[in-house]
């Protein structure tokens, strides 16, 4: 008798909690004559995430501060036309290879491939028309008890110079406790290189607020990748005794202006961190950001070996949602990833995906408050 009663109770609670979400979609304009949609997932507390299938882009993430007041904590635009025209990768899926490949060249099994040098002299974020600029096929589904958005895109063999037809699936889930879970999966029909991430720009005081220099950051890493003058890693070095040590939660502004060759004399942070204990590819906390005024906290967990901390160095005041300006350093990115330029760096984890293998990565951006 026990089993059927339990099953019935479970079913009831499943139905009840499923009803506590609202999922909606609406047209978000056109790209090259093709319609794109905007999907919004709102949980029981009223917190929501909006995602468009143009670039798989997270356009808003609306969560409470310590007084329960809702605010949007990611940078973005009101129209898809602005994303097409001027987005510095706001909120998008970045691929096929997020971050840089030196001089746009790499070899797999002795064969050389050339990709666009769209960030002279290097390749950046998948090239001229990367995954951030593609229209993804979208499907609303249900993962466990939680509604999800599954986006798929098949990148043809040779697209942007990368070998192999790549079938990619990205699933976004918005939980009742304000966690945005992103699961990536990909398979290929030829050996290829791959590095997928999400490029959300966060300001926990609210998008359009002043700089993130008063945000505190903690990163679970003892080592990072120093870079050359073109932002290509030169190896792996300890963070100890440098402005890159965020093992203890530290105000971002405290050391950003220090005379330090790696901070490129005032440009700021734009480096990959080698996360601790990542050999087993288990989900682990990579970074925690806190913002004192709002009391908001962002906890980033990932299965990836690295995370790029970018302090919004090149934001130059574009007008975003609601006409708000996004000045220099008014957001930060924490991009879970394999290490930059891995296709050319033998000491880094291999970014090669072969036929028969499945690439997977999971990253969770969880929003909460300290009080």
Binding site for ligand BGC (CB under 6 A): 88-89, 99, 231, 270, 308, 310, 314, 333, 335
Catalytic residue from among 123, 199, 215, 271: 199
Residues 319 and 208 sit within 8 Å (Cβ to Cβ): no
- Distance separating alpha carbons of residues 91 and 75, to the nearest angstrom: 8
Nearest approach in angstroms of CB 345 to ligand BGC is 16
Nearer CB in complex with ligand BGC: 118/145: 118
Nearest approach in angstroms of CB 308 to ligand BGC is 5
Residue 117 DSSP SS3: coil
Give me the helices (H) in 74-174, please.
80-86
Pairing state of beta strands 216-219 and 284-290? antiparallel
Nearest approach in angstroms of CB 91 to ligand BGC is 12
Residues 155 and 168 sit within 8 Å (Cβ to Cβ): yes
Catalytic residue from among 160, 291, 304, 335: 335
Nearest approach in angstroms of CB 309 to ligand BGC is 9
User: Would the CA dihedral through 163, 116, 100, 180 be positive or negative?
Assistant: negative
Q: Reply yes or no on whether 215 is catalytic.
A: no
Q: Reply yes or no on whether 112 is catalytic.
A: no
Task: Select the residue whose beta carbon is closest to ligand BGC and give its number.
Answer: 310
- Distance separating alpha carbons of residues 53 and 35, to the nearest angstrom: 10
Query: Locate tokens 């998948």: which residue?
Result: 126
For residue 251, which of 192, 173, 305, 329 has the smallest C-alpha distance?
Answer: 329
Nearer CB in complex with ligand BGC: 63/332: 332
Nearer CB in complex with ligand BGC: 71/127: 127
Nearest approach in angstroms of CB 118 to ligand BGC is 10
Nearer CB in complex with ligand BGC: 178/308: 308
Nearer CB in complex with ligand BGC: 54/174: 54
What radius of gyration, in Å, describes the C-alpha atoms of the chain?
Answer: 20
Q: In the beta sheet, which residues pair with residue 124?
A: 100
Q: Show which residues are catalytic.
A: 199, 335
């Amino acid at each position: 008798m026990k089993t059927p009663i339990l099953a019935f109770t479970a079913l009831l609670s499943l139905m009840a909690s499923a009803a506590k979400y609202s999922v909606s979609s609406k047209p978000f304009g056109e790209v090259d004559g093709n319609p794109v949609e905007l999907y919004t997932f709102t949980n029981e507390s009223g917190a929501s995430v909006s995602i468009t299938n143009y670039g798989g882009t997270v356009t808003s993430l609306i969560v409470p501060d310590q007084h329960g007041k809702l605010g949007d904590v990611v940078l973005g635009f009101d129209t898809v036309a602005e994303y097409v025209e001027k987005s510095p990768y706001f909120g998008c899926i970045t691929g096929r290879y997020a971050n840089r490949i030196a001089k746009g060249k790499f070899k797999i099994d002795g064969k050389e491939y050339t990709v666009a040098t769209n960030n002279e002299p290097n390749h950046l974020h998948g090239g001229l028309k990367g995954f951030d600029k593609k229209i993804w096929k979208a499907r609303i589904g249900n993962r466990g008890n939680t509604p999800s958005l599954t986006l798929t895109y098949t990148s043809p063999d040779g697209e942007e110079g990368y070998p192999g037809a790549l079938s990619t699936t990205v699933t976004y889930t918005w939980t009742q406790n304000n966690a945005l879970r992103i699961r990536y999966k990909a398979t290929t029909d030829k050996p290829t290189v791959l590095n997928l991430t999400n490029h959300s720009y966060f300001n926990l005081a609210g998008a359009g607020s002043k700089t993130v220099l008063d945000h505190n950051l903690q990163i679970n890493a003892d080592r990072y990748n120093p870079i050359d003058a073109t932002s290509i890693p030169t190896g792996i070095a300890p963070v100890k005794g440098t402005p890159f040590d965020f093992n203890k939660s530290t105000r971002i502004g405290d050391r950003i202006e220090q005379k330090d060759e790696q901070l490129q004399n005032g440009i700021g942070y734009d480096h990959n961190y080698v996360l601790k204990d990542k050999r087993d590819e288990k989900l682990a906390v990579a970074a925690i950001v806190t913002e004192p005024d709002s009391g908001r906290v962002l906890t980033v967990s990932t299965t990836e070996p690295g995370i790029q901390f970018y302090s919004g160095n090149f934001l130059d005041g574009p007008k975003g949602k609601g006409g708000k300006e996004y000045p220099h350093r008014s957001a930060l990115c924490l991009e879970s990833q394999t290490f930059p330029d891995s296709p050319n760096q033998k000491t880094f984890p291999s970014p090669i995906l072969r036929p028969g293998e499945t690439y997977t990565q999971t990253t969770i951006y969880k929003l909460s408050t300290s009080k």
